[in-house]
Structure 1
Amino acid sequence: MEKKQTIKGIANSLIEEFSTHLRGEIIQASDPEYQDARKVYNAMIDKHPGMIVRCVDVADVIACVNFGRENNLLVAIRGGGHNGGGLGLCEDGLVIDLSGLKSVRVNLADQTVRVGGGNLWGEVDHATHPFGLAVPAGIISTTGVGGLTLGGGVGHLSRKYGLTIDNLLEADMVLADGSFVAVNKNQNEDLFWAIRGGGGNFGVITSFKFQAHPVSTVIGGPTLWPIEKTEEIMSWYHDFILNAPDDLNGFIATMIIPGPPFPEELHNKMFCGIVWCYTGDPSEFDKLFQEVRDKNPLFEHVGEMPYPSIQTLFDGLMPSGMQWYWRADFFNDINKEARAVHLKYGSSIPTPLSQMHLYPISGAASRVGNEDTPWAYRDAKYTGVIVGVDPDPKNAEKITQWCKDYWEALHPYSSGGAYSNFMMDEGQERVQASYKHNYNRLSEIKKRHDPNNFFRVNQNIKPKA
């Protein structure tokens, strides 16, 4: 009798026949590279796919989609592997790994950038920086382009140039039926609307085309205040950042300084911090920033740097392979009650890398309509994320509980929704809350292009009944 594989009982002969349609490689549990291949950024995720296919071109992706559909397999799409909930993997099914689809091409004529579905943001920054250009992204350069883009993309340039989705001009996609389409404002407009915030629900993106912007050198870095000043600094910050010019971005945090490159006297102490990024005229910065300095930060390390440097500022502190637990919300303000919660939980951070961030959604990011993209919280003032982080699996429960407790205490002061890029597996109600009034339209588009919910290992939008 023919030997069967663990992946849904699919015969070896079928897998061997499948491999003839691929340039990339198939990795199964019996292969020596399997354990490394199934690792993702969050080491708290421990899933065992039946098969991982490392695609090298669009034809490989099409073959994988067709094979998964024809054999009724659970399929996950892996870009950079950064997703907090580990949605780039699945148990027992097929993982379509896009890490071989890498290319970055800068078009100077119209300042656009074509990026492969498997690229990381640091690779994009590396390619665009010599031309004095940047695409708005997040704050960690090892993040995958695909995952961050499809969920929204909040980062250092959000107030100046909007979210990443606001700068997405076009994408190439493989749909659930194996067809290959271009989506933009003139072609497959429904899909173009849906992928700008609707996550990986609608297909596999094999390449993205972005609008880049003139960004070369920025003025940035952190200012820190003792944690006891959290309420005072947050109250001041709320008014300051809302009225600041778009050129100035700053996200506020409760955090511990874990070690170098910060001075030794700061190590293992708790702070309320703000990480700044200024893209404007350097000669205007000191005047603008004087109000910050008037708040007497205990520590300031703000200066000129190439844009890729601010994007990599935290890479060394946050390498792949640590334990992560995420919770998130949107907020309309930082009221007195919320500030008290931040002080309480910011004063009891369980491990040196655990922290809370509030990213402003003012400036350019707020000037897009709530229906222009699925990203339904343009009128919120912040997206907030709480992360429990530690290298030691023994601390997984401790960081998870702190994160949950912080979120539970803060959630009553939120605007009720979740940012999909900062979600774990939190259930359908939270997914719907993240899209509010846009969920119904997304569900209709899902039914049109993926009626059987083939792409369901994600923050899932169910096809309209």
Structure 2
Amino acid sequence: MTQTTLVTRSGSTITLPAETVESFRQQLRGPLLAPGEPGFDDAIRIWNGMVEKTPALVVQPTGTADVVAAVNFARENDLLVSVKGGGHNIGGTALADGGLTIDMSNLRGVIVDADRRQVTAQAGCKLGDVDRETQLFGLATPLGFISKTGIAGLTLGGGFGYLTRRFGWAVDNLLEVEIVTADGQVRRANSEENADLFWAIRGAGHNFGIVTSFTYRLHEVGPTVYGGLIAWPAARAEEVLATYRELTATASPELTVFQVLMRAPPAPFVPPEAHGERICAFAVCYTGDLDTVEDALTPIRALGDPVVDMLQPLPYAQLQSSLDDTEPTGHHYYWKTEFASELTPEFQATVAELAAECPIPGGQLVLAHIGGAINDRADDDGAIGNRDVRFVYGAAGMWEPDNPNAAEFRQWVKDAGTRLQSFSTGGNYINFQTAEDGEERVRATYGANYDRLLELKQTYDPDNVFRVNRNIHPQARAERP
């Protein structure tokens, strides 16, 4: 390897001699990759194809010692550094353009302690890895709803999915982490040991270090649940939206329904005459007693005459992966999302109007019902906050690379987001923020918890080593009343 030029944390460049890079390589058990080398392109492939970044170096740790070596190397040489788990973040924070990317994808171990109802998973795991192992015992923890998502990024930003209504955010079920902080130290953080760091990790963890393993609480779920997709023509939008509003106001925590307004895909389960037509769909998950499922679904069944009906008993792990193909890796994704505490007729009318005029063939207007267990905790129970939230909603654009209408599509999503923002509680799900969302957006997300996060950032990462994220800058000054 010849000398290597990298980007520093300040945005300038530094050229490291070949012997410096080689010395670093010798400290590692895992690969150190540079552009053009075998494995590099795979290492920097992420879900959102809109993000075009090329690190100067990629480390692929095989264990915590490699992570420590990489953090020390980045800090000592003032390098811009990012952390890649599943690479599924909308903002592309997995990659540091011109910097050092620490790719955790080789760390995929999962250990289930069924007797204690706990699971410990390494940071390179994806949701499907964890679900596969825990479902052997009929157990699960609240994670996301796309099995290809990495557990690390999802959890450190809060994490929600089909089980959130019953059991809370992913971080509400986090028991302990092993983390490498900016000083290169390996720490265990839980409610008793490094409790302040553990509090920060539970919602703003991207800012405080590299978590190498997560230990979660498990709950009895599955292995068979009831769910899938059911959809109606967009001409019935008013009726379907009204049913959704009433259903989510009374549904038991065992029932989670996400609403999606979209165009029907050309999939085998969609009648050919409906391909490309606008539809109102429900993604359903019922984890209660299957003998009571029809009672739980009565409002949905009462709508009648769906154009698609895939509701059925199925393995929980299968339901968790059932939407994977709707988000192909490499497509371009651009979202604008918000939190809401209620659904008003005015809000739903706006959603319906936006769905009817959406010019993006792969565009969606989404409402995810997450209210329930998250609302039973105090606002300062973890950095995640936003305990008044009952829905995540927004406009989601998706299109193939090189689409000639990409600029128009992106502008439409941005404008739709502006129209939808007036219905927001003021918070925002940090994992859905895009690269253009700045400090004020981050501050609004954490609300009253921001000041404490700022103090802890100054303690654990005063030089802002971990800044390729939705950043809490240690030199920032929180607004005060």
How far does residue 382 in structure 1 lie from its aligned partner after superposition?
0.7
Of 416, 419, 423 in structure 1, the residue corresponding to residue 433 of structure 2 is 423
Larger displacement relative to structure 2 (15-24 or 338-347):
338-347
Superposition TM-score, scaled by structure 1 size? 0.96
C-alpha deviations, 1:43-102, integer Å up to 9, x for none?
A: 000001111111111000000000000000000011000011100101111001111111
Counterpart amino acid of residue 219 in structure 1: Y
Matched, 1:45 2:65: no
Counterpart amino acid of residue 254 in structure 1: L
Matched, 1:445 2:456: yes
Matched, 1:278 2:275: no
C-alpha deviations, 1:142-168, integer Å up to 9, x for none?
A: 000000001111111111121111111
| 1:127-138 matched pairs, under 5 angstroms | 127-138=133-144
Q: Aligned equivalents of 1:243 and 1:370: distance in 2? A: 23
Counterpart amino acid of residue 229 in structure 2: P
Counterpart amino acid of residue 437 in structure 1: A
Q: Aligned equivalents of 2:412 and 2:233: distance in 1? A: 20
Counterpart amino acid of residue 421 in structure 2: H
Larger displacement relative to structure 2 (336-345 or 322-331):
336-345
Q: Does the Cα contact within 8 Å between 2:225 and 2:286 map onto a contact in 1?
A: yes
Q: Aligned equivalents of 1:125 and 1:110: distance in 2? A: 17
C-alpha deviations, 1:25-59, integer Å up to 9, x for none?
A: 11112424333322211000000111111111100
C-alpha deviations, 1:271-294, integer Å up to 9, x for none?
A: 121111001111111122112211
Q: Does the Cα contact within 8 Å between 2:372 and 2:390 map onto a contact in 1?
A: no
Match of 1:458 in 2: 469
Of 165, 171, 174 in structure 2, the residue corresponding to residue 165 of structure 1 is 171
Match of 1:406 in 2: 416
Q: Secondary structure of 2:324's match?
A: coil
Match of 1:57 in 2: 63
Counterpart amino acid of residue 55 in structure 1: P
Moved over 6 A (4+): none
Match of 1:28 in 2: 34
Matched, 1:116 2:122: yes
RMSD across aligned positions (CA) = 1.6
Q: Aligned equivalents of 1:226 and 1:366: distance in 2? A: 33
Equivalent pairs, count: 464
Larger displacement relative to structure 2 (13-22 or 154-163):
154-163
Counterpart amino acid of residue 397 in structure 1: A
Q: Does the Cα contact within 8 Å between 2:108 and 2:129 map onto a contact in 1?
A: no
Q: Aligned equivalents of 1:63 and 1:278: distance in 2? A: 45
How far does residue 366 in structure 1 lie from its aligned partner after superposition?
1.8
Counterpart amino acid of residue 450 in structure 1: D
C-alpha deviations, 1:362-414, integer Å up to 9, x for none?
A: 12122122111222212122111321112232243233122112111111111
Larger displacement relative to structure 2 (442-451 or 311-320):
311-320
Q: Aligned equivalents of 1:97 and 1:36: distance in 2? A: 11
Match of 2:4 in 1: 5
Matched, 1:396 2:406: yes
Of 206, 214, 217 in structure 2, the residue corresponding to residue 208 of structure 1 is 214
Counterpart amino acid of residue 151 in structure 1: G
Q: Aligned equivalents of 1:75 and 1:86: distance in 2? A: 13
Match of 1:244 in 2: 251
Q: Does the Cα contact within 8 Å between 2:258 and 2:366 map onto a contact in 1?
A: yes
Q: Aligned equivalents of 1:143 and 1:350: distance in 2? A: 27
- Identity over aligned pairs, percent: 39
Of 80, 83, 88 in structure 2, the residue corresponding to residue 77 of structure 1 is 83
Q: Does the Cα contact within 8 Å between 2:260 and 2:281 map onto a contact in 1?
A: yes
Any gaps of 5 or more consecutive residues in structure 2? 7-13, 477-481
Q: Does the Cα contact within 8 Å between 1:323 and 1:393 map onto a contact in 2?
A: no
When residues 41 and 305 of structure 1 are mapped into structure 2, their CA distance, relative to the original with a 3 A threshold, is same
| 1:366-381 matched pairs, under 5 angstroms | 366-381=375-390
How far does residue 464 in structure 1 lie from its aligned partner after superposition?
5.5
Larger displacement relative to structure 2 (38-47 or 367-376):
367-376
Q: Secondary structure of 2:382's match?
A: coil
How far does residue 297 in structure 1 lie from its aligned partner after superposition?
4.9
Larger displacement relative to structure 2 (230-239 or 298-307):
230-239
Counterpart amino acid of residue 89 in structure 1: L
| 1:353-368 matched pairs, under 5 angstroms | 353-368=362-377
Q: Secondary structure of 2:325's match?
A: coil
How far does residue 301 in structure 1 lie from its aligned partner after superposition?
1.9
Counterpart amino acid of residue 262 in structure 2: M
Match of 2:339 in 1: 330
Matched, 1:223 2:230: yes
Q: Secondary structure of 1:196's match?
A: helix
How far does residue 213 in structure 1 lie from its aligned partner after superposition?
1.0
Larger displacement relative to structure 2 (165-174 or 21-30):
21-30
Of 207, 231, 240 in structure 2, the residue corresponding to residue 233 of structure 1 is 240
Q: Aligned equivalents of 1:15 and 1:318: distance in 2? A: 37
Q: Does the Cα contact within 8 Å between 1:199 and 1:459 map onto a contact in 2?
A: no
How far does residue 308 in structure 1 lie from its aligned partner after superposition?
0.6
Of 276, 279, 287 in structure 2, the residue corresponding to residue 268 of structure 1 is 276
Q: Aligned equivalents of 1:44 and 1:56: distance in 2? A: 29
How far does residue 232 in structure 1 lie from its aligned partner after superposition?
3.4
Q: Secondary structure of 1:89's match?
A: coil
Q: Does the Cα contact within 8 Å between 1:22 and 1:60 map onto a contact in 2?
A: yes
Match of 1:253 in 2: 260
Q: Secondary structure of 1:169's match?
A: strand
